[in-house]
Structure 1
């Protein structure tokens, strides 16, 4: 805009000069060597004023443009800062996503082998049991009398035996069902899934239901809610089969209910035992109080007899004192009578 102003000022001077030259040329052509008339000078002045107005308007426009550019630059800077902050947030989110992807890959690798899946289920079961039950109520990797080792054995002091809980994770056949691209493949995968789950049920029923040692039911812990839900919704025959085998299916959510009820039973048993102990102690205290009452009555009798004896002793002493005084008076009289003749001698 400064260059435009520099250009407009010479243009104004140039137009004024042109107007003056034009006026002189017109006078010469008319044969009048006189200076330009007043109207021509006025036109030149008007032209100069117009050019000056253009220059001033240009200055005002330049200031407005500069202000607009400054405001736009400030807004652009703020927007760029916001964009930078958002890009930073996106970058951090991408890093977290990469970390989660790595964790998912690790988890997929862990669940890839049967042994690793078994360890995962055992650890998940142990975490839940430790959160709900007191330490004296359970034992992990307990060995039974038939040398079978169960993932968790919940112990009960009363008759009825301990409760066996074992973790099973039929993941491969379940994945095959989900990955089936057609009905035929899915039917084959479902058949294999049933075989795997049924085998787990049979293993638990045959190993962990021992008469006189464990309860007549056991829990099969499935560490994946999706597999447990699939069994309930689409494999009701397996659920019925497990009930007949006295093996009840549980998941991370449902086993909380089982364990909470067991803890309530355990607490009620402890309370009942303490109540019995308190009742027994109260009975003993009542017996002691009864004996104490008898002894107080006996002691009261002794005190009564002693008080009676004391009264009798006091009565006897009083009589002795009275008789002593009488004797003393009698002896004094006799002495006086004996001394009289002696005085007469």
Structure 2
């Protein structure tokens, strides 16, 4: 024991040691008692928990049984509703199928009608496309004609000839006549009372106008404008030099432009060229203006022919008056004949009425009394008929 004290370094008496051991034992007992108390409480709590768990399990089993019953009832209800729903869905599907079938038939019918109309429209479109193709070919041909100088001249010549031929009689114009200077204008028109020929020229320079229309820059446009003035001015000088012959042609000539748009551009943008042509006694006309000029000339030719035929017209009118006089006399004679015929018809009616009255008297006579007197009424009747015939 002394050794123990030496190791710990604590100096204690045996009494202190005993007290310390006693305290230690008491502490151990307290610990054991606390542990036992705690274990009892734990057992009581565990028993309470088991009781509560058993009660909850019993409630859960009861709830499960009720839920099972409800689930069984719900299953039966859902089965019945499922059969009703299946029947309703089947009916609805049948109705929808019928409606869809009718809708498909209607759509098929309308689609067939639409296809028929579409085929008709396609046929119309095909015909229009064919006409458009023909028109395109004609336009291409016209472009080729306008691109070629000779063909373009023939085109202008053809339009000019068609206008003049439709407006004037045959003896009033001549195409491609030969003048004394061996020049041949496109057309020469002879007005009444004047042996001189009015010259119509159908050649017009188109290249300068084409270049002017297609000019992309300002310099190119200025050059094209100068070229237009130069080409048209040269053509005007050529007409004045070739076709103005004293005593053979008129002091006025016509320059035919075969396009209204070309004439409009010329009149709008080249007024100086128009004035230069007027000073040179050359009139520039479009197709519509040429038609108007030809109508004026047609009126002049018609008036001249009326004046030339005035004497013959007077003779024919005089003969017509004589025929009317003779017709009036013959109508008068015919009226006299009608009046005589009417009087004769009236006289015949009077005679017929007398004969009828005498016939009635004869019908009422009695021929049974005396036979010798039979011939007297007959003789009297014959005398009366003869008298009425003379009357």
Scaled by the length of structure 2, what TM-score is found?
0.58
Answer yes or no: is the 8 Å Cα contact 1:216–1:246 preserved in 2. yes
- CA 119–46 in structure 1, closer or farther in 2 if over 3 Å, else same: closer
Q: Give a deviation string over 1:85-118, Cα, whole Å, max 9, x none.
A: 3333333333332222222222221222221111
1:214 equivalent among 228, 236, 249: 249
Q: Which runs of 5+ in 1 are unaligned?
A: 1-25, 31-36, 284-345
In structure 2, the residue matched to 1:91 is: 126
- 1:236/1:39 CA distance change after superposition, 3 Å: closer
Tell whether 2:111 aligns with 1:68. Answer: no
Corresponding residue for 2:198? 163
Query: CA separation in 1, counterparts of 2:78 and 2:177?
Result: 117
RMSD of aligned residue pairs (Cα, Å): 2.8
Measured at CA, do residues 277 and 79 of structure 1 come closer, stay the same or move farther in structure 2, by a change above 3 Å?
Answer: closer
Note if 1:194 corresponds to 2:237: no
In structure 1, C-alpha distance between the alignment counterparts of 2:144 and 2:167, rounded to whole Å: 30
Equivalent position SS for 1:65? helix
Give the secondary structure class of the aligned counterpart of 2:245. coil
- Give me the whole-angstrom Cα distance separating, in 1, the residues matched to 2:234 and 2:302: 35
Deviations 1:256-292 (A, max 9, x none): 1111111111111111222256679999xxxxxxxxx
In the alignment, the residues of structure 1 paired with residue 300 and residue 294 of structure 2 have an alpha-carbon distance, to the nearest angstrom, of 10
CA contact (8 A) 1:117 1:169 kept: no
In 2, Cα distance between equivalents of 1:199 and 1:80: 64
Moved more, 43-52 or 179-188: 43-52
Alignment of 1:263 onto 2:295:
no
Select which of 282, 286, 299 maps to 1:251.
286
8 Å CA contact 2:192–2:300 kept in 1: the answer is no
1:169 Cα offset (Å):
2.3
Contact 2:267 2:274 (8 Å CA) reproduced: yes
Give the Cα separation in 2 of the matches to 1:150 and 1:187. 32
Cα separation, partners in 2 of 1:188 and 1:280, compared to 1, 3 Å: same
Secondary structure at the counterpart of residue 143 of structure 1: coil
3-state secondary structure, aligned to 1:253: helix
Structure 1 or 2, whichever has the larger Rg, is 2
User: Which residue of the partner structure matches residue 157 of structure 2?
Assistant: 122
Give 1:128 shift.
Answer: 0.6
> What secondary structure is seen at the aligned counterpart in 1 of 2:287?
coil
Partner of 1:226: 261
How high is the TM-score relative to the length of structure 1?
A: 0.66
**Which position in structure 2 is the counterpart of 1:312?**
none
Q: Distance in 2 between matches of 1:173 and 1:116?
A: 17
Q: How far off is 1:79 after superposition?
A: 2.3
Structure 2's unaligned 5+ residue stretches are 1-64, 319-391
Q: Indicate conservation of the 8 Å contact 2:212/2:221, yes or no.
A: yes
Aligned with residue 151 of structure 1, among 173, 186, 189: 186
How far has the Cα of 1:171 moved from its partner?
1.4
Q: After superposition, give the CA deviation of every residue in 1:222-273 in whole Å (9 maximum; x if it has no partner).
A: 1111221111111111111111111100111100111111111111111122
Residues 201, 67 of structure 1: CA spacing in aligned structure 2 closer, same or farther, 3 A cutoff? same
Aligned pairs, how many?
250
